[in-house]
Structure 1
Amino acid sequence: MKSADLYPWADRAGRFSPLRAAVFAALVAPGLWIAAGLAMDMLGPEPVKSAEHLTGVWTLRILLIALAVTPLRRRLGWSRLIGVRRMIGVAAFAYVLTHFGFYILYLNGDLMKAASEIVSRLYLAIGFVALLGLAALAATSFDAAIRRMGPNWRRLHMLAYPLTLLGVLHYFLQSKIDVGAPALLFGVFAGLMLHRAFARAAIPPALVVIGVALLSGAAAALGEYLWHAVLTGIPADRVFMANFDFRYDVRPPWLAMAIMAAPLIFLPPWRRAVQRARALRGGSAPAFRSQ
């Protein structure tokens, strides 16, 4: 077994990697914060339920970060990011497994009751399917599985995209009325899928980022609007218009746009972006390997 498998802060050569160490610390931090909240009784009147919710939300956030690795690598030229994608994906599985563990604990360890609820409640069934899918991805995330599976490995791991969408749907169904948080995650997910769609487009990276950010905000607004229009009976038009009222908070579409526009800070100047687009039109491609 390689050092990178034993020590997450080591690179493939066994050397200490500041990037891997920083990513590992960032991934562990939410779990430590939740554990501290439980230990110090800071998670409200139902601490186990709160911990279940928080680990579920962090699962989705980490999944989206994992899906963001390839777009960031392509747009910004950060080739070393590919080395931490596996760690991020495995961390997402660790969080979803902990999420499921807290759910069982909330039911006092009654596995039969848990099975009955999973079968009878749609949002739980969707979440359980996502859990099983992520377990399959985590179990095959190591070098030996990649060599053994060959081209089938890539096909299997493309399931990360629909599994993330299932997780967001699970969050929508669990939230019922207040779906601002899942709408935000849906907007970010839509933006990441759009980055894949524009991966080979001969368009300056800055324009792609701006366009995707705008469409990401639109997706968050549309997701929230359709949710209320179809399922809740709450006036969807009022919910939509609330996105333009900044007296109380910043609504999900604007947050989604801000998140997806963040790479603009790191992009090269416009002149270099245009030169890159011209190079693409001429047939030369950036020295990045696709996922």
Structure 2
Amino acid sequence: MSLFHERNGKFSPEKTLALVGSVLPAIWLGAWAVAGDLGARPVSAAIHFSGLWAIRLLLVSLAVTPARRIFHWPKLVLARRILGVAAMCYALLHLGLYAMDQGWNVGTVAREIVLRFYLTIGAVGAAFLVALGATSFDSVIRRMGGKRWNALHATVYGIAILASVHFFIQSKLDVTEAVLTTGLLIWLFAYRIWHRRTNAVGPLALFALAGLSAVLTALLEIAWYGLFTGVSPWLVAQANVQPGLGISPALWVLAAGLGVAFAGTVRLKVLPPAKVARARA
């Protein structure tokens, strides 16, 4: 199957955008490495960068289904496979760079993965991503059958959770990025649960999901700092609403959710009535 075309041979903007967007971070990382801009510990910086983009692309791949429903953009599904495979590639790069940092000592790498919990769950997540990537070809899908293939690929939700936990633990004291990433994952899960229960997520529901996800994100951040760092939950709660301390992850999640709700509402209003009726049906 062509990376840039649909099955009928027509050029696919969705697949092209997904491919270009997936490759750009790798080019960016390579340019930094060549220019010597990765800091005093370049391998460590590259490990963090590749892991961050692995989870980002994983979340974007999970966002494809809500986006195509909300914006009535069915061909967006063509981008999902590319995004998922790209997430797998960055996860493998992340693991490979860690092995490089350990001097390519397989024994040391294996021992560290077994002994360090956050490395264990990271490795498990990467292994499952490889399994999903290896079964993403049409020929494999036909051999497995739709039911078994869907069951295997439903593990992507568990992989996303493992990736978030891995991100939290390795972030140590500053979990801002991990909280933001997990907050967006909360929205994606909340959307799927709501859609499964109601079979439709309208504009009002999207606005409600934005608020709910933001509250859960704030509670997650408060709980993490309170349980694992000893920081007062009250201080963390205050930090979420004090503009002088910067925009909190919860507010970023709220802004993203409200943006999606607003854009979805506008999209619904500009669609022809017949297309709206078909979409709702």
What corresponds to 1:30 in structure 2? 25
1:1-291 matches, within 5 Å, as: 2=1, 4=2, 8-150=3-145, 151-199=147-195, 201=198, 205-269=202-266, 286=280
Distance in structure 1 (CA, Å) of the matches to 2:84 and 2:259: 22
Name whichever of 260-269 and 118-127 sits farther off. 260-269
Aligned positions, number: 275
1:75 maps to amino acid = I
> Cα offset for 1:286?
3.1
Over the matched positions of the two proteins, sequence identity in percent amounts to 35
Residue 269 of structure 1: CA displacement?
A: 4.6
Query: 1:246-265: CA deviations, max 9, x gaps?
Result: 11311100111122222234
**In 1, Cα distance between equivalents of 2:116 and 2:207:** 39
Relative distance call for 1:204 and 1:134 in structure 2 (3 A) is closer
Moved more, 244-253 or 86-95: 244-253
Matches of 1:72 and 1:59, distance apart in 2: 20
User: C-alpha distance in 2, partners of 1:222/1:20?
Assistant: 37
Distance 2:128 2:166 in 1: 14
CA distance in structure 1 between the aligned counterparts of 2:174 and 2:200, rounded to whole angstroms: 37
- Higher alpha-carbon deviation: 244-253 or 228-237: 228-237
Q: 3-state DSSP class of the match of 1:198? A: helix
Q: What is the CA distance between 1:48 and its match in structure 2?
A: 0.8
- Structure 2 unaligned regions, length at least 5: none
- C-alpha distance in 1, partners of 2:114/2:268? 56
Q: Distance in 1 between matches of 2:199 and 2:92?
A: 41
Listed as ranges, the gaps of 5+ residues in structure 1 are: none
Equivalent residues of 1:55, 1:99 under 8 A apart? yes
TM-score (norm. length: structure 2): 0.91
Q: Is the partner of 2:136 in helix, strand or coil?
A: coil
Write the deviation string for residues 134-159 of structure 1: whole angstroms up to 9, x where unpaired: 01100001111111111100000000
Q: Which moved more, 1:188-197 or 1:224-233?
A: 224-233
Gap change, CA 1:138 and 1:203, over 3 Å in 2? closer
Deviates more, 1:252-261 or 1:85-94: 252-261
Contact 1:187 1:219 in 2 (8 A): yes
What RMSD over aligned residues (CA atoms) do the two structures have, in Å?
2.1
- How many angstroms apart in 1 are the aligned matches of 2:107 and 2:51? 22
Take 1:162 and 1:203, find their aligned partners in 2: how far apart are those partners? 24
> Does the CA-based 8 Å contact 2:239-2:245 persist in structure 1?
no
Instruction: Give me the whole-angstrom Cα distance separating, in 2, the residues matched to 1:45 and 1:29.
Output: 23
- Write the letter of the residue equivalent to 2:280: P
For residues 124 and 271 of structure 1, what CA distance do their matches in structure 2 show?
44
* Aligned CA distance change for structure 1 residues 171 and 202 (closer, same or farther; 3 Å): closer
Task: Name whichever structure is richer in helix by fraction.
Answer: 2
